[in-house]
Amino acid sequence: MNKHPFESRLKKSFTISLDEIHKIIVNFHDEMQRGLEGKESSLKMLPAFVDTPGGDEEGRFIALDFGGTNFRVLQVALDGHGSARIERTKKYVIPKAVMHGTGTQLFNFIAQSIRNFSFIDRSESAKKKDLGFTFSFPMKQTNIANGILINWTKGFSATGVIGKNVVTLLRDSLKRSGMSRINVVALANDTVGTMAARSYKDPLCDVGVIFGTGTNACYREAIANITKLPRAARSRKNMVINIEWGNFNRLPFIPYDELLDRATNNPGKQRMEKMISGMYLGEIVRLILTDLIREKHIFARSKGKFAKGDFKTYHMSLIEADNSKNLSDIKEYLDGVGMLKTSLEERRLLKKICALVSQRAARISAAAISAVVTRMDPNLSSNHTVAVDGTLYEKYPRFRRTIMSALKEIHGRRSARIKVVRAKDGSGLGVAIVAAAAAAQH
């Protein structure tokens, strides 16, 4: 079967060559350095005011894991020997009205949910509790329990929060809910939590990454290199840096990236996130399909179309996972959305398009991981564990495999020194570990 000319064009547009990967790494290093020096950079390089845990932290802690439309409250027990156990957990869904209402409404809703969680176990409800707070939005920290929201992402727009200390807002809401006995002792980004969860039992873990609705990473940096850090904060040898890498903007953009960017509520921002995260990949495919449908290259016998937001990354995952002879799962999905009378060739083309978009995402992700690890260890002289959490990494077919294969392409045999592991529930477990370390210092 001959390829259509547009297929070759698409493949060329979405292919990230090894040369391009090396260019991304060089640019990433440059932005990291500028961010650490406090110069203008697309990478904020935010100090997290915590180092990796020692593995001997112990006790029982509440963890609040807030980073999207769902948040979780957990009770975590640490045994002081590298083992962390989730004793109880409950998920809460934030109503849209609360996401887009006032900050007070949002934090009151969170506090009421913590109250609801705490009173499940009556025997524990009257005891004083230390709480670790995972807050997965860009924030500037000045210490372990103080974080100023820089800007909302992931569709949130609650007013009166940007520029405010989110720990103060949470503490105030807890007091209003009659929960003064809960003490917020630590604040961390979800990447920091993910890294802490793994490094509690694995001292080689020095990078934490999220590949989910959004994407971000953190890593361990020598204090001497964080020149923008005030001298008073330089008492320790190393500190975790929250990179906020979703905002990295020195990448090979194509017209579909520009189209998607212009249609978002934050044009010009989070450029890398828009190329590699679960919130946006489906929309890139939809933009391609819209073009191909209009030009009658695909689904010409069907009157169906995909409106904005109709095609999700979840659908891409389902499509790429279909290895049946007639691609019957893809047909069933297309029939269900009114895309009738599709041919096997059209279904194959749809699968190829999804693969091009997801492979580009995974190769850019590998370039970013490589940049972070080689920032710490330019020649890969040591072993490094990269802890990863997030649904895209966990559930998307071949995403992890493509990252590993790209790392091998970049580093050859030395890629074996980069161990990428899944840290399930990292952001919840990890912030409890961060809270334990912070409580021990008080």
pLDDT in tens, 282-341: 999 999 999 999 999 999 888 888 999 899 999 999 999 999 999 999 999 999 999 989
CA–CA separation, 271 and 346 (whole Å): 30
Whether 158 shows a pLDDT value over 50: the answer reads: yes
Across 47-51, 139-143, 164-168, which has the greatest mean pLDDT? 164-168
CA–CA separation, 72 and 172 (whole Å): 20
CA–CA separation, 3 and 349 (whole Å): 10
Would residue 63 count as lying in a domain? yes
Q: State which residues form the domain around 152.
A: 47-200+425-437
CA–CA separation, 63 and 433 (whole Å): 9
Mean pLDDT across the chain: 92
Cβ(246)–Cβ(214) below 8 Å: yes
What's the pLDDT score for residue 1?
45
CA–CA separation, 97 and 100 (whole Å): 5
Annotation says 190 is catalytic:
yes
Would residue 68 count as lying in a domain? yes
Catalytic site residue from 23, 154, 201, 352: 154
Would residue 313 count as lying in a domain? no
Q: Which amino acid is at 409?
A: E
Would residue 84 count as lying in a domain? yes
Percent above pLDDT 90 for the chain = 78
CA–CA separation, 407 and 366 (whole Å): 6
Q: In the numeric block, which tokens belong to residue 14? A: 């979405």
CATH of the domain at 129: 3.30.420.40
pLDDT, one tens digit per residue, over 117-154 is 986 555 444 578 899 999 988 898 988 999 999 999 88
Mean pLDDT of 36-60: 92
Would residue 28 count as lying in a domain? no
Annotation says 154 is catalytic:
yes
Would residue 96 count as lying in a domain? yes
Beta carbons within 8 Å of 2's beta carbon, 6+ residues apart:
none
Would residue 76 count as lying in a domain? yes
Would residue 155 count as lying in a domain? yes
Catalytic site residue from 190, 206, 261, 322: 190
> Lowest-confidence range among 58-72, 139-153, 224-238, 351-365?
224-238
Percent above pLDDT 70 for the chain = 97
> Lowest-confidence range among 62-66, 213-217, 228-232, 362-366?
228-232
Residues in the chain: 442
Based on the structure, what is the number of domains in the chain? 1
